[in-house]
Amino acid sequence: MAYARSPPIITFVGRPLASRKGLATFIDALAVLETLDLLPSYQVWLVGGDDKERAFLQTILIGHTMLEKLLNQGRWLAWGAVENAALPEIYSRSTVVVMPSTFEQFGMVAIEAMACGCPVVASNIGGMKETIVPGVTGELFPADDSETLANILVGFLRNPRRREYQSANAHAWARRWFCADKVYQAYYQLICDDSRSPLDGAVSPTNAWRRQVIESLLPECARLLQQTISEWKDCSGNSQVSARLMTANGEQYHAKFLRARPTTHSLILPLPHEQLGPATPAHLVAKVEYFRESGLTPTLKASCRTSGIVLTEWLPSENETELNAAYRDLVCRFAQWGRRNSNSSELIVECTNALREFAASQNEQTLGALDQAAVRLHAPMLGGTLQFHRIHPQVELFRILTLLRRSVWSISTSVRSRLESILTLLLRAEEIIVRTPILMHGSLKATHVLTKDGQSVACDLDNAIYAVGPLDLVHWNLGDRGIQEIDLREDLTSLRQLTSSRTDFVLATSWLFVYAIYGLLDAMIGGKKNVYDVLLSSLMCAYETIFKHDLIPSK
Amino acid sequence: MRGQGHQETLLITRGYRPVRIVIFTLTDDPFEAPGIGGHGGSHVVMFDMGRHFVRAGAHVVFVTRRDRYGLNEHENIGVNCEIIRLKGGPASEVPYYDCGAYIDELIESAKTFPELGVEKIDRLVSYNWISGECVRRLYMNSGIPHIHCVLALGRVRLANGESQKKVSSFWQECELKVLTSADQIVTCSQNELAELTNLYPEIDPNRLRCIPLGVNTDVFGIRPLSSDHYLRRTTARFA
C-alpha cells in the first residue's frame, strides 16, 4: 500500500464573520505560529461562510506581514459552506479542529469533529467545558488568548501523533455521550412520556471519561483474572486511569488502564520523528513487565499489551514512620536492578561516553548523539520501543536555553530574557557533571511506597528512568505537591540539607529547575494558564534563590 | 411476545393516530444549510431532532419564520413531517434578537394555519425565547404540555457584557414568562443549567432538565481508511 504523509491541517468550522466564533483569535494565533522556528509546515482549512465572507478573509491576509505567506504558499484553504455530508471527510483529514468562540452554549462542531476522531482545541467556555475532556479528547484554553492557542497548536504540530493518541478517545467519547439516537430518544421520552432523561450528563468530563474507560475494560479484566468483578472504585491519578477491583470471592486487585499519550517532551521539543513514541500502550505495559522479577513492585497478576491493562495485587501503604528508610532502600534496589540487567550494561557505558563527549563540546551534534544513546538505553525497558528520555539535568538546561534562543515557543520577550539569564546562571554553577546514569523510579513519593511481606515496594513505575543525579530525591522532597506548588526557595533549602556534596546539590537544583521549566512549557502548550502563571512568578524570583544558595562559584 | 421496540411504538402512537409534536423554531429553519450567514449548529439540531421523532413514529410539524422569498408557507416533507413558515417581518434573514419585534405578526400568521389548531396538537416544543413566547401566547390554558429548550439566556448575555440594545427589556420580560410557564425546560449543558439556576431564582428547579445535543453518528464517524491512504488522497469523493 502506498502511503504519503500529508502536512498537518488546522481547521476552523463556523460562520467566519460571526464575532462570537472568535476567528480573530485564531488569525492572531496563526500569526504567532508563523514567527516560530523548527515548526513543521502546516495548512489551514476554513469551513463556512459565503463567497463575500471568503473574499473578505483573503483581504485580511493580504498585506498581513506574517500571514500573507499562508496564502502565497497555498497553505490557506477556504472551503466556504459545504454540505453536512462532506464535513466528516474534512474532520477526518484535519489534525485538529479549533473553536476559539467567545460564547458558545454547546458547540456542535466540537462533537462532530470528535465523533470523526478529530481532537478539538476550544475556548474554556459554555458547554465546551463539558464536552471536551482536556488532554484526552482535545484541549481547552482561555477565550481570546491567542498566545495560549498558538502554543497548544505547537504541541499538535510538533508531535503529529498527538492526534492519533486523542483520536480514538474523542471518537469513543462522542459516541458514548452525544450520539443523536440516544440524545433525541431522551428528548422524546421527556416529550412523550414525561420521564426523566436516561442520560446522566457529563457533569465532570474527566470523571465521566475515567468511568467510561474503566467500564469498557472491566470485562477484559475479568477475563484476565478469570474471576467475576463484583465492585470497583476509581483511584486514578493525574495521568492514567486506574481502579481498585473487588472480585466475587473477596480478592482485591489494582488495575491500571494504560493508554498511550504523548509525553510532555514530544509536544514541547522539536524531536526527530522516531523519538516521539508510539501510539499504542504496549511499551507502557512492557515497562511494568520489565520489573516483574525485580521484587521492587507489587506482584503482577496479569497484563495485556493490546488493551493496556495491568493487574497487580492490592497492597497497603508503607507505615509513615518507615518511609524515609523505605526511600533509601528503594533507591539502592532500583540502582542495583538497573545494573544487574546484562542488556543494559553496554548501553549504560555507551550513554556515559556520549555524555562525556557532550560535556567536552556542548554542541547540538553531541547533544543529538547523547539523545540517541539515551533512547537506546531505555529501549529494553520499553519492549524495544524508541522514545526520547531526558537523563541529565544540566543537559536539559542547555537544551532549553538553546531552543529559547531559537524561538521555538511563543514566549514574551521579557519572559524569554529572564529565563535565558536564569539558565545561563545555572549552567555556570558547575561544568557538566559526567556520571554513569542510574535506574530510578522517576517519581518516587510517599504515596507510591507500599509494603509487602515486611519489605517496601513501589507502584506507578511509568516514569522509571536512567538518570544522572538525585532525581528521586527531588521528587521525594516535592511529595504529593502539584507542579504549581513548587517553592523554589524552600525546596532548594531542603535539598541542600538532603544532599551530601556540592555536585549532588547542583544536580538536584538543576533537576528542580528542569522540572519547573518543563512544567511551565507543559502548562503553556496545554492551555493551563493558572499553572503557567504560578510557575512563571516562581521562576521570575529565581535570581535571589540562585544567589542565596551560592550556586555561582566565585572564580 | 412483543419486543421492547414494539411496546415503545404503542406508547407513542396513542391509539391509532401518531403523536403530533409541533416544534416552534422561529429563528432556526431546520432545512437551511448551516455555515452561511446566521445559520449554524442549531439548525442541524432541529433537523436531527425532528427526524428522530418522525422515525420514532411521531408526526412532526416544524414552525419557523419565512426568512427568504420563494419559500412555501406550508410544505409536506414525507408522510409524517411538515413545515410551516410564518409571516413576520421582512422575508430576509435578520439577527435573531431582532425577531422579537415580529412576535405579534408571527402569532397572527400562526392563527391562519389549521394545522396549528389546539385540537391538532399533542405536544409543543419551543426553541429559544421568541418561539417560547409565541407558544405561550398561542396555547395559554390549552393544557398541551410545553417543553421549552433554552438557546440564549438574556441575563447570562447581560452578565457576559452584551449590550442592552441586543438583550432588550422585552426579551427579558418574554423570557421570564416562558421560563415560568413552560412545563419542562431543557438545557443542553450543566453549565447552562447552573446559569439558569443562579440567574433565574424565579424558576421552579423541578422543571429543569439537562440533555446534551447529539450528532448523527452514522454520518459523523471515523472514515474507513487513513487520510494518508492513496485512495482517499487521490479521489475528490466526499461523503
Q: What is the mean pLDDT of residues A367-389?
A: 95
Continuous segment of H or E residues that includes residue A96: strand A96-99
A108 chain-B contacts, CB cut-off 8 A: 40-42, 44-45, 213, 215
Interchain contact, A49 vs B152, CB within 8 Å: no
- Between CA A359 and CA A365, with CA A362 as vertex, the angle to 5 degrees is 115
Contact between residue B74 and residue B64 where contact means Cβ atoms under 8 Å apart: no
User: Does A82 have pLDDT greater than 90?
Assistant: no
In a mutagenesis test of the B interface, which of A13, A188, A199 is the best target, namely the one with the most B β-carbons within 10 Å?
A188
Give the model's pLDDT for residue B10. 40
B42 chain-A contacts, CB cut-off 8 A: 108
What is the signed CA dihedral for B80, B86, B91, B93, rounded to 10 degrees?
A: -70
Chain A residue whose CA is closest to B221: A116
CA–CA separation, A126 vs B189, rounded Å?
8
Interchain contact, B210 vs A197, CB within 8 Å: yes
Interchain contact, A197 vs B151, CB within 8 Å: no
Task: For residue A49, give the nearest of B36, B53, B233 by CB distance.
Answer: B36
Which DSSP category does A552 fall into? S
CA–CA separation, B54 vs B211, rounded Å?
19
Interchain contact, B212 vs A47, CB within 8 Å: no
The three grid cell numbers given for residue B160, joined into one nine-digit string: 457576559
Interchain contact, B217 vs A4, CB within 8 Å: no
Give the model's pLDDT for residue B219. 86
Interchain contact, A191 vs B123, CB within 8 Å: yes
Give the model's pLDDT for residue A3. 39
Give the model's pLDDT for residue A239. 76
CA quadruple B53, B55, B59, B63: dihedral positive or negative?
Answer: positive
The three grid cell numbers given for residue A276, joined into one nine-digit string: 516521539
Tens digits of residue pLDDT in A180-233: 988 988 888 888 765 554 444 445 788 888 999 999 999 999 999 999 999 999
CB pairs below 8 Å between A and B: how many?
199
Q: In the structure, what pLDDT confidence band is assigned to residue B2 with cuts at 50, 70 and 90?
A: very low
State how far residue A316 is from chain B, nearest Cα, in angstroms. 38
State how far residue A102 is from chain B, nearest Cα, in angstroms. 10
The three grid cell numbers given for residue B237, joined into one nine-digit string: 469523493
Predicted TM-score of the model (pTM): 0.86
Interchain contact, B145 vs A116, CB within 8 Å: no
Contact between residue A540 and residue A166 where contact means Cβ atoms under 8 Å apart: no
Q: What is the CATH number of domain B4-234?
A: 3.40.50.2000
Chain A residue whose CA is closest to B151: A105
Tens digits of residue pLDDT in A444-468: 999 999 999 889 999 999 889 999 9
Question: Which stretches of A341-434 are DSSP H helices?
Answer: 342-361, 364-378, 393-405, 413-428
Interchain contact, B238 vs A85, CB within 8 Å: yes
Contact between residue A178 and residue B213 where contact means Cβ atoms under 8 Å apart: yes
User: Does A83 have pLDDT greater than 90?
Assistant: no
State how far residue B91 is from chain A, nearest Cα, in angstroms. 19
State how far residue A122 is from chain B, nearest Cα, in angstroms. 16
State how far residue B136 is from chain A, nearest Cα, in angstroms. 17
B211 chain-A contacts, CB cut-off 8 A: 183, 186-187, 190, 197, 199, 201
Domains and CATH numbers, chain A: 9-180 (3.40.50.2000), 205-257 (no CATH), 317-548 (3.90.1200)
Give the model's pLDDT for residue B158. 84
Contact between residue A347 and residue A376 where contact means Cβ atoms under 8 Å apart: yes
In this structure, the number of other CB atoms found within 10 A of the CB of residue A334 comes to 23
User: Does A537 have pLDDT greater than 70?
Assistant: yes
Q: Please choose, from the candidates A52, A59, A50, the residue with its C-alpha nearest in 3D space to the C-alpha of residue A27.
A: A59
More reliable by pLDDT, B60 or B37: B60
Contact between residue A418 and residue A493 where contact means Cβ atoms under 8 Å apart: no
Interchain contact, A106 vs B33, CB within 8 Å: no
A196 chain-B contacts, CB cut-off 8 A: 209
Contact between residue B58 and residue B20 where contact means Cβ atoms under 8 Å apart: yes
Tens digits of residue pLDDT in B166-200: 778 888 899 999 999 999 999 998 888 999 999 99
B56 chain-A contacts, CB cut-off 8 A: 185, 188
State how far residue A101 is from chain B, nearest Cα, in angstroms. 13
Which DSSP category does A299 fall into? P
Tens digits of residue pLDDT in A9-41: 999 998 888 888 999 999 999 999 999 998 999
State how far residue A244 is from chain B, nearest Cα, in angstroms. 29
DSSP secondary structure, A30-73, as one string: HHHHHH-SS----EEEEE---HHHHHHHHHHHTT-TTTHHHHHT
Contact between residue A303 and residue A309 where contact means Cβ atoms under 8 Å apart: yes
A171 chain-B contacts, CB cut-off 8 A: 221-222
CA–CA separation, A133 vs A154, rounded Å?
19
Chain A residue whose CA is closest to B188: A106
Instruction: Work out the end-to-end distance of chain A between its first and last CA atoms, rounded to an integer number of angstroms.
Output: 63
- Overall size of chain A counted in residues: 555
Interchain contact, A115 vs B12, CB within 8 Å: no
| Burial of A527: CB neighbours in 10 Å, binned 0-12, 13-18, 19+ | buried
CA–CA separation, B49 vs A181, rounded Å?
9
Residue A454: left if φ>0, alpha if ψ -120 to 50, beta else—which one?
left
Give the model's pLDDT for residue A200. 44
Task: For residue B217, give the nearest of A115, A130, A203 by CB distance.
Answer: A115
CA distances from A205 to A126, A164, B3, B80 (A): 13, 20, 34, 37
Q: In the structure, what pLDDT confidence band is assigned to residue A5 with cuts at 50, 70 and 90?
A: low
Q: What is the mean pLDDT of residues A509-529?
A: 92
